[in-house]
Amino acid sequence: MVIVAKARELERVRQLFHALADETRLRIIDRLLGGEQCVCDLTDRLEAGQSRLSFHLKTLKEAGLVTDEQMAGVEELTGHPRVVAVGETGFDFYRDKWPRDVQEDVFVRHVDLAHRAGLPLVVHTRDAAETTLSVLAERACELRVILHCFSLPSRLDEVVERGYYLSFAGNVTYEKASELHEAARAVPAHLLLLETDAPWLTPAPLRGRPNRPALVAKVYGFVAALRSISVEDLAAQVATNAGHAFPRLAEQLGSGK
Ligand SMILES: [Zn+2]
């Protein structure tokens, strides 16, 4: 969840953070809010109990390249116990609204940040398999990598070999997505994740309406049938995997925070 807030929304953002965060956090947010545009990727997820951090590509378009100063602000935020991953981040050549060198610059910064922060990396990739996988091979060897909204069924063997987590969203339920069906059936159990991606990718048979988190149950039902296991067993497996993929999430759940 990325919110690109205008300066006039600062007060609302400040209030949200005030309820959640200590003085240090507020100072960091103030710094991020320093320009006319700001990047604030935390509010909803901090409230919901988790957060992933990234600069949205929309921000890049409006604000130009991410600066060292902005990244320093984000880096400080990675210390927050409820920030469980860096991302989503990656390449989107489908929309291709942003110069590819800018996308690469930001992606590399996020990969390096995940290394320094000791956090997993959540990767978005659309029509950019080759570039994404080659940057990851070069720079993300020791990271936990989660391929969000998995879309690379033709590269299944390669990404499994690399030990990436494959996170399937509502589109795995679509009738024509036979390659995704096969991938969801074949991925080793310990690398399987399922996600909502709400409000996008509403699962069948509700496709066309806005998605919401509760509908992820339909994804579970569909994938359980594909793998010929019970929904309960699948849910237990995915919960275990999520704990391995996102250690800070496991800590929080374990400690009941
Ligand atoms: Zn995405």
Q: Is residue 83 part of a domain?
A: yes
Which one, of 211, 209, 102, lies nearest residue 219 by Cα?
211
Residues 6+ apart with CB under 8 A from 231: 220, 221, 224
Q: Is residue 210 part of a domain?
A: yes
Q: Is residue 201 packed enough to be buried (19+ CB in 10 Å), middle (13-18) or exposed (0-12)?
A: buried
Mean pLDDT of the chain: 80
Q: Report CA(41)–ligand 1 centroid distance (Å).
A: 14
Q: Quick one: what percent of the chain has pLDDT higher than 90?
A: 56
Q: Report CA(23)–ligand 1 centroid distance (Å).
A: 32
Tally the domains of the chain. Answer: 1
Band of pLDDT at residue 64, cut at 50, 70 and 90: very low
Give the pLDDT of residue 38.
37
Distance of CA 49 to the CA centre of its chain: 15
- The full length of the chain comes to 257
Q: Is residue 9 part of a domain?
A: no
| φ, ψ at 175 (rounded to 5°) | -55, -40
Q: Is residue 248 part of a domain?
A: yes
In contact, 2 and 54? CB cutoff 8 Å? yes
- In this prediction, residues 22-32 reach a mean pLDDT of 45
Q: Is residue 151 part of a domain?
A: yes
Q: Is residue 223 part of a domain?
A: yes
Q: Is residue 138 part of a domain?
A: yes
For residue 133, give the CATH number of its domain.
3.20.20.140
Q: Report CA(125)–ligand 1 centroid distance (Å).
A: 7
Least confident interval from 24-38, 99-113, 133-147: 24-38
Give the pLDDT of residue 105.
87
User: Which of 15-19, 197-201, 223-227 has the highest average model confidence (pLDDT)?
Assistant: 223-227
In contact, 124 and 159? CB cutoff 8 Å? no
Q: Report CA(88)–ligand 1 centroid distance (Å).
A: 6
Is the pTM value of this prediction over 0.95? Answer: no
Give the pLDDT of residue 13.
52
| Greatest distance between any 2 Cα atoms in the chain | 53
User: Which residues have beta carbons under 5 A from ligand 1 (an ion)?
Assistant: 88, 124
Range of the domain at 114: 48-255
Q: Is residue 32 part of a domain?
A: no
**What's the rounded Cα separation, in Å, for the pair 214 and 240?**
20
